[in-house]
Structure 1
Amino acid sequence: MTTLRTNPDTAQKLSIAQILETVADGRIPLRFTAYDGSATGPEDASYGLHLNSARGTTYLATAPGDLGMARAYVSGDLEAVGVHPGDPYEILKAMSNLQFQRPSPTKIAAITRSLGWDLLRPIAPPPQEHLPRWRRFAEGLRHSKTRDAEVIHHHYDVSNAFYEMVLGPSMTYTCATYESEDQSLEDAQENKYRLVFEKLGLQEGDRLLDIGCGWGSMVRYAARRGVKVIGVTLSRAQAEWAQKAIAEEGLSELAEVRYSDYRDVYETGFDAISSIGLTEHIGVQNYPAYFGFMKSKLREGGRLFNHCITRPDNRSGAKAGGFIDRYVFPDGELTGSGRIISEIQNVGLEVRHEENLREHYQLTLAGWCRNLVENWDACVAEVGEGTAKVWGLYMAGSRLGFERNVVQLHQVLAVKLGPNGEAHVPLRPWWKG
């Protein structure tokens, strides 16, 4: 440390850096500087944080934890030093070793006295922040059709041009499947769709329902191989982009992407259903209805493929943290793969295979961050610096989460049995891994 710890029991006013030292539990692993001229942490640290305004202090003090940090960072009041804003992975990795302790009442009093009440009054968050959960009831009950449409709009209708720059030509916002760590993002995404197609055992002339189809990449992949596909998304921008891409490829006779809630699909008797990256938005309490709906849409012997982010256990709470809930996936919920498998089994589908692709999502997120860095100026021009920083922070933080086993990515394959238990599947896995 480069500053001396001060006894907070005295009446001496603490600097911003001294306040950080007071609440830190152990060594501060990066360089911290503040607008009041104070500093702490190793002078030779590769990465650092600079708090450049009193407003940033208010954000940090009134929402301790990831939400306050995100507010200060997105607003530009907290600067990351030594990393590009499109990929702050390295500084987040360094910060993961920064631990905090709850100060004693005496220390809290000293901190309050040092900051003053003006800095401790809550202020409006950055415009990129969604309403808190308790205020979203105006948009409908959680996971009602109205509210689901609103939260999907918040995340996915940012800008198709922005997503084109970040995701690349595949326009795929879900985990890729890598054959090696040096495989390109585009090849790995193509490999993912190949894997889904083969696990579902799709053949020319089959009928596929792709729920939460995004920009229609799985829809078009299957249609190119003669499969008749309906995709549904709650993002109007995605549906318009996908329909245009379908027409440009000459696939309109086989493929369709609807701007629709999946619950409004009236067709039935599908040979297969894919749900790639949607379960996170459904709500854990709605799993029985969700998987029951899909079972009702399958023919006997039809297969269900579910691909989603999960927690590493089945005990943790489902709700997302403050930053994710307010800035990225409002109303999003995660649970363990065991809960998902149980719910699929409980509606009467038979689970035939599951696998964890946690490391594959690390690689995918690193690829998206590289794209954001390479296209930073254009992305900022398209959506604004604050929004671009939200995506860099989210993707880099998620990469670290998959690396540290905070979250996982599971694929589950199930089948709707015939009346006498017929599964109509080969004895051993029939796809290339």
Structure 2
Amino acid sequence: MTVGQAFDLVFGPDAPVRLVAWDGSTGGSPDGLVMRMTNPDALNHFLTGGSELGLARAYLLGDLVIDGIDEADPYDVLRLVSDGLPMRRQSVREAAELAQFVAHHRPRTPRLPREETPSQLHRMARGLRHARGRDAAAISHHYDVSNTFYERVLGPSMTYTCACFPTEGASLEEAQAYKYDLVAQKLGLQPGMRLLDVGCGWGGMVRHAVKHYGVTAIGVTLSREQASWAQAAIAADGIADRAQVRHGDYRDVTERGFDAISSIGLTEHIGVRNYPSYFRFLRERLRDEGRLLNHCITRPDNRHDGLPSRGFINRYVFPDGELTGSGHIVRVMEDEGFEVRHHENLREHYARTCAAWNANLSKHWDECVELAGLGTARVWGLYLAGSRLGFERNGIQLHQVLASRTSTEGRSGFPLRPRVEPSEAGQTGRTGQTRGDGRDGQADA
């Protein structure tokens, strides 16, 4: 049996893909998207890694060439593969033929792209999952690529979390600033308050809250590159007396009595089993009537935790990352003494955010390749486009959960009917400069 014949048995001769194999055989529709297996290693990747991981490995190594693919934004290809390549149900005879085909090609340990992280078993050398040293290594793998690379992909806001688009025509920068205002409004930030931002990234929330809401803020990140960039930005903004970003573990924060805590995109990294201790720690850092805003990617159900160990995201993007449903997060928060006051899903907004990041990557493709290497740039193209598709199809979601450390007397600190939405696209509640002060607002987030 040829490779092309095996393809037709698995996906059908009318599949919207034209497979051209190194042995000269073909499969799928003659008018379909052309995928070329340039050598036997391409087949071996699929036999050993499955469809998702195998496709990524073969593509990144050049063993699979896809005609006309946009390396910076392969969304159309991923959507076509997702929609148009369902596996056929084989007869007993066909299944036996496929088994003989696999045995003939003798699957062997594949050659791996250098961008792929070790398996879960090999990561044990760095400690148990979510031990401090292993967490630091996982964060460094993803975030300590190059600050310049992130500037090109994320844009001037340097914000690597879901934006919130106030209107259909809002730009990415407007949406990121609006997201920070939304978080600030939900937290009820006022001049003189103390804010803790855990997993603060490049300090966007810290800087925004200090400049526009008059608070004093501390941010914490495990990425040395992020902390260095954020401290320089804080100094340039002239707010070093009220803002700081620390390089370290959030568990090293000793201060207490904060008025508000924001956790924007950190929960995905801490491990589902660590949720109780995580939310307990954050509650202990708040004063009575203080508020917590937890913003993180979630699953669309509460029946599954974690990420597939053999999946693309786990091996190339977020080593040791774990997701669960928003209901599980709410339950743990409540079990640890928080009173949940508001819960919102921004799934469609994250799809738009990923599309905007893909567009930035495409615009700066040559520079991004020079900065991070072709393999890493390709990983980012796949990752962002695949994430966009996942958010669009409700395969993953993004939830903000707002809660308070309600006092023993039952005082939550919330008014009877609180406003949680900025009334004018990022100006309500600000104490400093607004969009109307003559600046373009791009450095605000």
> Which of 55, 58, 65 is matched with 1:72 structurally?
58
Q: Compute the displacement of 1:113 (Å).
A: 5.4
Contact 2:350-2:398 within 8 A present in 1 as well: yes
1:288 maps onto 2:276 in alignment: yes
Contact kept, 8 Å, 1:268 with 1:296, in 2: the verdict is yes
1:84 aligns with 2:53: no
The reply on whether 1:426 has 2:415 as its aligned counterpart is: yes
Aligned-residue offset at 1:36: 2.5
Stretches of structure 2 lacking an aligned partner (at least 5 in a row): 423-445
**One-letter amino acid matched to 1:218:** M
Query: Counterpart of 1:106?
Result: 96
Distance in 1 (alpha carbons) for counterparts of 2:230 and 2:247 = 10
Taking the aligned partners of 1:160 and 1:319, their CA distance within structure 2 comes to 27
Whole-angstrom CA distance in 2 between matches of 1:54 and 1:21: 18
How far apart, in 1, do the equivalents of 2:211 and 2:269 lie?
A: 28
Question: Matched residue of 2:196: which SS?
Answer: strand
By how many angstroms is 1:423 displaced? 0.6
Q: TM-score, normalised by structure 1?
A: 0.93
Aligned to 1:212: 199
| Partner residue of 1:221 out of 188, 200, 208 | 208
Alpha-carbon shift at residue 31 of structure 1 (Å): 2.5
d(CA) in 2 for partners of 1:378 and 1:195? 33
CA distance in 1, matches of 2:102, 2:108: 11
Cα offset for 1:327? Answer: 0.4
Alignment match, 2:439: none
**Contact 2:206–2:243 (CA<8 Å) still a contact in 1?**
yes
Asked if the contact 1:308/1:410 (under 8 Å) is kept, the reply is: yes
* Residue number among 322, 339, 362 corresponding to 1:333 in the alignment: 322
Give, in angstroms, the shift of residue 16 of structure 1: 1.9
Q: What's the counterpart of residue 353 of structure 1?
A: 342
SS in 2 for 1:303: strand
How many residue pairs are counted as aligned between the two chains? 416
AA aligned to 2:351 is Q
Contact kept in structure 2, 1:274 and 1:306, CA below 8 Å: yes
CA gap 1:302/1:27 in 2 versus in 1, 3 angstroms: farther
Query: For each residue in 1:367-410, what CA deviation from the matched residue of structure 2 results, as whole angstroms up to 9, or x when unmatched?
Result: 00000111111100111111100011011001000111100000
DSSP 3-state at the match of 1:429: coil
Once superposed, which parts of structure 1, at least 4 consecutive aligned residues long, lie more than 6 Å away?
none
1:395 maps to what in 2? 384
Shift of the 26–334 alpha-carbon distance from structure 1 to 2, 3 Å rule, reads farther
- Of 30-39 and 321-330, deviating more is 30-39
Shifted more, 29-38 versus 233-242: the winner is: 29-38
Task: Supply the distance in 1 between the matched residues of 2:252 and 2:385 (Cα, whole angstroms).
Answer: 35
1:195–1:431 Cα contact (<8 Å) kept: yes
Extract unaligned runs of 5+ from structure 1: 1-13
SS at match of 1:308: strand
Give the letter for the 1:89 counterpart: Y
Q: Tell me, what secondary structure is at the counterpart of 1:301?
A: strand
Counterpart amino acid of residue 72 in structure 1: A
Q: What is the CA–CA distance in structure 1 between the aligned matches of 2:75 and 2:260, rounded to whole Å? A: 38
Match of 2:185 among 180, 192, 198: 198
- Structure 1 counterpart of 2:157, one-letter code: S
Deviation of the 1:42 alpha carbon:
2.5
**After superposition, where does 1:283-322 map in structure 2 within 5 Å?**
283-320=271-308, 322=311
Q: Quick check: 2:272–2:305 contact (8 Å CA) kept in 1? A: no
8 Å CA contact 1:15, 1:114 repeated in 2? no
- Check the 8 A contact 1:48/1:91 in 2, yes or no: no
2:165 to 174, 178, 181: 178
Deviation at 1:214, TM superposition (A): 0.5
CA displacement 1:68-95 (0-9 Å, x = unmatched): 1111111122223233111010111010
How far off is 1:32 after superposition? Answer: 2.2
Q: CA separation in 2, counterparts of 1:113 and 1:420?
A: 70
CA distance in 2, matches of 1:79, 1:86: 15
Structure 1 segment 214-293 matched on structure 2, within 5 A: 214-225=201-212, 226-293=214-281
Cα deviation for residue 322 of structure 1 reads 1.5
Q: Distance in 1 between matches of 2:183 and 2:222?
A: 22
Q: What amino acid is the match of 1:345?
A: E
- Deviation of 1:199 after TM superposition, in Å, equals 0.6
| d(CA) in 1 for partners of 2:21, 2:174 | 44
- The whole-number CA distance in structure 2 between the counterparts of 1:27 and 1:423 is 61
Query: Residue 370 in 1 paired to residue 359 in 2?
Result: yes
Report the CA distance between 1:164 and its aligned residue.
0.6
Contact 1:163 1:171 (8 Å CA) reproduced: yes
Distance in 1 (CA, whole Å) between partners of 2:13 and 2:281 is: 51
Identical-pair percentage: 54
CA distance in 1, matches of 2:265, 2:99: 46
One-letter code of the match for 2:69? V
User: Which of 115, 135, 138 is equivalent to 1:151?
Assistant: 138
Q: Tell me: CA distance 1:181–1:35, structure 2 relative to 1, closer, same or farther (3 Å).
A: farther
- Structure 1's 156 and 37: CA in aligned 2 closer, same or farther, altered over 3 A? same
Report the TM-score, using the length of structure 2 for normalisation.
Answer: 0.90
Q: Could you tell me which residue of structure 1 aligns to residue 46 of structure 2?
A: 60
- Which of 37, 50, 65 aligns to 2:36? It is 50
